[in-house]
Amino acid sequence: MKLLALSIALGGAWDSIAGILYSFAIGTGRLIDDPSTDPFYALFLGSFFFCFAYLQFAASCNISKYLIVAGCLISGRILYILLLYGFMLFAEGFPTIFWFTGIIDGLLVTLSLVAVHRGNLPVKKLFIPEKG
């Protein structure tokens, strides 16, 4: 469980970085403005990243109780990776500037899945909380 808690905490750190970038660096007229994004939407996304980071930090403190958070994060990151690379490969003109985020999220998913496997956790526990 410690490895899973670590991977979830690392995901929280990564989402904190994303929150800072979206809040202060990403958006039209800012450091990163391709794709063009209204600063309001960038700030809006940044606030969600901070919420995700908080959830991950809190869940990593008591991972056995909050396995459902880990399950949601793993599946959400997988969906993000598939969507990101699907758009980069098949949507003409889609900017490729965020390719590295797919790699980092892929590493976090891989670490989490290794932790789930090493901890002999059934997948059911990641998506259906136990009564307590």
- Token pair recorded at residue 58: 């809190």
Measured distance CA(65)–CA(82) in Å, rounded: 29
pLDDT grade for 16, boundaries at 50, 70 and 90: very high
pTM: 0.86
- What does the CA dihedral 89, 77, 121, 65 come to, rounded to 10 degrees? -170
pLDDT at 3 over 80: yes
Count of positions (residues) in the chain: 132
Non-local CB neighbours of 38 within 8 Å, separated by 6+ positions? 27, 28
